[in-house]
Structures are given as structure tokens and as C-alpha cells.
């Protein structure tokens, strides 16, 4: 591991100053992602600014009825919070489907949002990877790409965003509250992560030194009827091959509200707006759910080893909607 300096910060503005003042500095939260990558030599920061003493670990009700998830709230605390379980079951289920109990007890909301891809070539410094070392090429395009993305890829990178938690956050229209050297700003969650394009090393809209303060969930009564489904190689401790966060509200047999987002198949947490548009206002039926699922995967670009993800994601969408709609 490369040598590095370590400081603890007690105040958000001071932490922002410490990281933005040094190009090789980065924030440290639970450390479950960052320290792995430092041990592998994939990330080599010279200064770690530990944010764990900041007062950002609360889950609080917002005046308009939503919830504020503090950046440092632990994944297990969010998953088991009574209001999250009651109002946004899809989020609780997604968190509980991720990693292991021990990791969820360390991992934070912001760390989860900022986690890096699990593309094996990104984590192997002996291989070319445009995301890790811009301009070196993408080993996955012609290599082993079973775990890679079928939606949102480019000629430079087809890495999936690996998070489970981020999938419901995209479906629920969360927003990310951020503090930077020039003050606070709010970013819609669906615009927070970037498509790889020709600059896959740039993964989010965050500028260097900007600190996530919270992820805010809007009031969405329909989300009480929501779920998360994840398909993976093992029953636990495995990243998604495909996953779905879905909200479905029916009124007199017609779809009143539909929210769908996909994980494991896109280069960012993937909001399936085309599928939602197929559903809204229509009479709920198995054929409608099939049509929505097909729309969600339209434009998918499978590679040599990941074509199965298209059908897997399609079936997960149908199963999610069928379960929520109470139809067989």
C-alpha cells in the first residue's frame, strides 16, 4: 500500500477545505470500499480525510413528509429504520440484499452512492482500463464481460454501477445534498451518476472536494407498495447480475403510479422511464407488464458473455410488477 496521511475532520466545511485544497486527498467514511481499492493499488490518495465524526448519521423526517438520510447513516441502520421499512420498503430490501451484515454495519449512505465498479479489470492494475488509467483501453469489451453492462455503455467503458441501494434511490426520485467550496447545492439522484461516454474516469457530477451531506427522499405514498428483487450468483454476498426496484399503484385496475429502476445491467443506476410510460394509465395485465419490461430493455447492447442479462432483467421486471399488482 502507498503511504498516506490521515486526518479526522469535525466540521463539514473544514473537511471540504481539506479535500478541495489537495488534489490527492479524498474522504474516508466506512472504508469498506476505499481501503480495498487502496490495498489493490487502484486508488492511491495521499491524504485521507475521515468524516466519521461529522454529525451526519441521522435519518430524519422532512417537513413535507419525506425522509433525510444522513450521509453517514449506516446501511444497516437505514435498512432497519421503521419509517424506511414502512414508507420505502424497496429501499430497505435493497440494502438488506447488499454485501453482508458486517459490511452493512460499517458502510454509509454516501460511501454506497460513491462506490466504484466491480469490473474485474478495474481492480486489476496489470490490465488496461480506461476508468482506472484513462487512455489505456477497455479490457472488458473483448474480454470476460459477463458482469458488465448492457445499458449505457460506450466504446470506452461498459462497467456496471454495482450498488443495490442506488437502484431504489433512482426509482424514488431522491436528491443528493452536497457541500462544496462555494456552498451547498442539490442534485437529482438520476443526474448524479454520469454515463461513461469518452471519460469513464468521471463517474459523478461531484467536483473534487464536494462532500455529500444527505440523500433526501420525497414523500411518495405509492412507495409503500414497492419492492426490490435481485438476481445474483449466490444467495448472499454477491453483487447483482440484474435487479429491479419497483413501485406500482393501481386504481380501479389501472396503473396510477409506476416507478422502475434497474441495477446490475446499466453503467449507472438505471431509471426505466420507457417502461413507466408504457404502464401509466393502462389496465393492469400480464401483457402490459411484459410490454413494459420489453420497453425497459430496448436498446440494450449485450456483449459476448452478458446477453443473459437482458432476459434476466426483463423477467425480474415482470415478476416485480406481477407481485405488486397481485396478478398471476
Ligand X SMILES: Cc1cc2nc3c(=O)[nH]c(=O)nc-3n(C[C@H](O)[C@H](O)[C@H](O)COP(=O)(O)OP(=O)(O)OC[C@H]3O[C@@H](n4cnc5c(N)ncnc54)[C@H](O)[C@@H]3O)c2cc1C
Residues at the site binding ligand X, with contacts judged by CB under 6 A: 26-34, 36, 51, 71, 98-99, 103, 106-108, 110-112, 114-115, 162-165, 211-212, 239
Interaction between residue 129 and ligand SF4 (CB under 6 A): yes
What is the C-alpha to C-alpha distance for residues 152 and 65, in angstroms, rounded to an integer?
A: 33
In the bound complex, what is the minimum distance in angstroms from residue 35's beta carbon to ligand X? Answer: 6
Q: Are the C-beta atoms of residues 232 and 301 closer than 8 Å to each other? A: no
Shortest distance in whole angstroms from residue 246 CB to ligand SF4: 27
b/e map 117-128, b = 16+ CB within 10 Å:
bebbbbbeeebe
121 contact, one of ligand SF4, ligand X, none, CB 5-8 Å limit per kind: ligand SF4
Using CB distances below 5 to 8 A depending on partner kind, what does residue 222 bind out of ligand X, ligand SF4, none? Answer: none
Residues 63, 276: Cα–Cα separation, whole Å: 28
Q: What is the 3-state secondary structure (H, E, C) of 168-192?
A: HHHHCCCEEEEEECCEEEEEEHHHH
Residue 88 contact among ligand SF4, ligand X, none, beta carbon within 5 to 8 Å by kind: none
26, 76, 117, 190: which one contacts ligand SF4 (CB under 6 A)? 117
31/128 with CB nearer ligand X: 31
Our finding on whether 148 is near ligand SF4 (CB under 6 A) is yes
Farthest CA pair distance, the chain: 63
Asked if residue 228 binds ligand SF4 (CB under 6 A), the reply is no
**Rounded distance between C-alpha atoms, residue 91 and residue 123, angstroms:** 28
Enter the DSSP assignment of 61: E
Among 114, 159, 179, 284, binds ligand SF4 (CB under 6 A): 159
* 204 DSSP assignment: B
* 209/195 Cα distance (integer angstroms): 21
Pick one of ligand X, ligand SF4, none as the site partner of residue 159 (Cβ within 5 to 8 A by kind): ligand SF4
216 conformational bin, left if phi > 0, alpha if psi -120 to 50, beta if neither? beta
C-alpha cell, 221: 405514498
Nearest approach in angstroms of CB 42 to ligand SF4 is 10
Q: Which window, 1-9, 57-65, 125-133, 251-259, contacts ligand SF4 (CB under 6 A)?
A: 125-133
Which stretch, 91-99, 155-163, 233-241, 277-285, contacts ligand SF4 (CB under 6 A)? 155-163
What residues line the site for ligand SF4 (CB under 6 A)? 117, 119, 121-122, 129-131, 138-140, 148, 157-159, 200
Amino acid at each position: 500500500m502507498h503511504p498516506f496521511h490521515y486526518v479526522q475532520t469535525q466540521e463539514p466545511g473544514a473537511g471540504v477545505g481539506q479535500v478541495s485544497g489537495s488534489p490527492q486527498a479524498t474522504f474516508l467514511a466506512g472504508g469498506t470500499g476505499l481501503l480495498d481499492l487502496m490495498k489493490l493499488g487502484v486508488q492511491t490518495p495521499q491524504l485521507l480525510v475521515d468524516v466519521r465524526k461529522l454529525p451526519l448519521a441521522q435519518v430524519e423526517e422532512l417537513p413535507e413528509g419525506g425522509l433525510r438520510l444522513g450521509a453517514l447513516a449506516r446501511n444497516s441502520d437505514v435498512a432497519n429504520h421503521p419509517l424506511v421499512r414502512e414508507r420505502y420498503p424497496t429501499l430497505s430490501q435493497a440494502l438488506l440484499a447488499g454485501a453482508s451484515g458486517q459490511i452493512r454495519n460499517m458502510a454509509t449512505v454516501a460511501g454506497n452512492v460513491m462506490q466504484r465498479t466491480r469490473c474485474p479489470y478495474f481492480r486489476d492494475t496489470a490490465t488496461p482500463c480506461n476508468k482506472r488509467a484513462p487512455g489505456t483501453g477497455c479490457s472488458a469489451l473483448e474480454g470476460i464481460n459477463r458482469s458488465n453492462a448492457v445499458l449505457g455503455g460506450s466504446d470506452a467503458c461498459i462497467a456496471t454501477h454495482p450498488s443495490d441501494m442506488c437502484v431504489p434511490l433512482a426509482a424514488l426520485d431522491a436528491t443528493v445534498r452536497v457541500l462544496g467550496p462555494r456552498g451547498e447545492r442539490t442534485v437529482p439522484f438520476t443526474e448524479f451518476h454520469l454515463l461513461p461516454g469518452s471519460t469513464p474516469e468521471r463517474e459523478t457530477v461531484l467536483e473534487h472536494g464536494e462532500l455529500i451531506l444527505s440523500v433526501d427522499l420525497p414523500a411518495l405514498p405509492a412507495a409503500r407498495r414497492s419492492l426490490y428483487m435481485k438476481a445474483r450468483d449466490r444467495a448472499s454476498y454477491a453483487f447483482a447480475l440484474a435487479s429491479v426496484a419497483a413501485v406500482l399503484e393501481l386504481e380501479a385496475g389501472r396503473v396510477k403510479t409506476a416507478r422502475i429502476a434497474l441495477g446490475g445491467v446499466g453503467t449507472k443506476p438505471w431509471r426505466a422511464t420507457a417502461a413507466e410510460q408504457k404502464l401509466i394509465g393502462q389496465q393492469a395485465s400480464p401483457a402490459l407488464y411484459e410490454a413494459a419490461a420489453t420497453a425497459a430493455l430496448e436498446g440494450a447492447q449485450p456483449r459476448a458473455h452478458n446477453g443473459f442479462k437482458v432476459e434476466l432483467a426483463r423477467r425480474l421486471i415482470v415478476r416485480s410488477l406481477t407481485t405488486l399488482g397481485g396478478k398471476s
